[in-house]
Amino acid sequence: MSATDQKVVIVTGASRGIGAGVVEGYRKHGYAVVATSRSITASDDPQVHTVAGDLADPRTAGRVVDAALERFGRIDTLVNNAGMFLAKPFTAHTDEDFAAMVGLNLGGFFGITRRAVATMLERGSGHVVTVTTSLVDHPLSAVPSVLASLTKGGLDAATRSLAVECAGSGVRANAVSPGIIKTPMHPVEAHAAYAGLHPVGRMGEIDEIVHAVLYLETATFVTGETLHVDGGQCAGH
């Protein structure tokens, strides 16, 4: 496969957890990857190019997109995985909490998606997948999530708007809405409590989110979809 034929994906929040799993999943499917996060380090894989930076800073988005085009010559897919979550009662949030969550969850999405989609529209094809949360659809009294709903809910709505706007131009937009997934951000001692928040009685695994992202990648008749991978959480309790 020549460099110009190889598909290229940008993955944000790629240094650990779901993001690292998504990088591995796309590499197994032959994609070159541009992986970014604040703490990411260089990869031994020549087909994984890393860019360290905070997507809340608009300059980072430009560096990531430029790196993809300079290193691999194209952008086929963007996986918006970077984000933050603060579980606090609404009135306990500070102005700094609000600025941080809006800056990364919304500002980060806006900066890199706008740049990546522009290149996709030029080529006449592309795909954006954004990771949200099932708390947008089904809030839980045990998990205070107003700022998560404010920001991730915005991404959920924006996914549908972007899908419709770009539907005639060969560019698709979808979202994956996870429940609580076993990642390094969740301490093992809390797993039993988190498992009980899902009707199926367990937490999700990273590879289950990766499979959902890769399904959407190949489902060319699917756009504007939010795929829930949440153990039945969005259906109720």
Whole-number pLDDT of residue 236: 85
Q: What is the DSSP string of the chain?
A: --TTTS-EEEEES-SSHHHHHHHHHHHHTT-EEEEEESS----SSTTEEEEE--TTSHHHHHHHHHHHHHHHS---EEEE---------GGG--HHHHHHHIIIIIIIHHHHHHHHHHHHHHHT-EEEEEE--GGGTS-BTTB--HHHHHHHHHHHHHHHHHHHHHGGGTEEEEEEEE--B--TTS-GGGHHHHHTTSTTSS-B-HHHHHHHHHHHHH-TT--S-EEEESTTGGG--
Whole-number pLDDT of residue 70: 98
By DSSP bridging, strand 32-37 and strand 48-52 are parallel
Distance CA 63, CA 185 (A): 27
Q: pLDDT below 50 — which residues of the chain?
A: 1-2
Whole-number pLDDT of residue 187: 87
Whole-number pLDDT of residue 228: 97
Identify the CATH number of the domain defined by range 8-229: 3.40.50.720
Question: pLDDT tens-digit profile of 91-106?
Answer: 999 999 999 999 999 9
- Specify whether the CB–CB gap between 35 and 51 falls below 8 A: yes
How buried is 213 (Cβ within 10 angstroms: 0-12 exposed, 13-18 middle, 19+ buried)? buried
Whole-number pLDDT of residue 4: 67
How buried is 140 (Cβ within 10 angstroms: 0-12 exposed, 13-18 middle, 19+ buried)? middle
Whole-number pLDDT of residue 131: 98
Kindly list the distances between the CA atom of residue 232 and the CA atoms of 41, 65, 142, 201, 228, in Å, as whole numbers in the listed order. Answer: 36, 36, 16, 10, 8
pTM of this prediction? 0.96
Question: pLDDT tens-digit profile of 162-214?
Answer: 999 999 999 999 999 999 999 888 889 889 998 998 999 999 999 999 999 99
Whole-number pLDDT of residue 185: 81
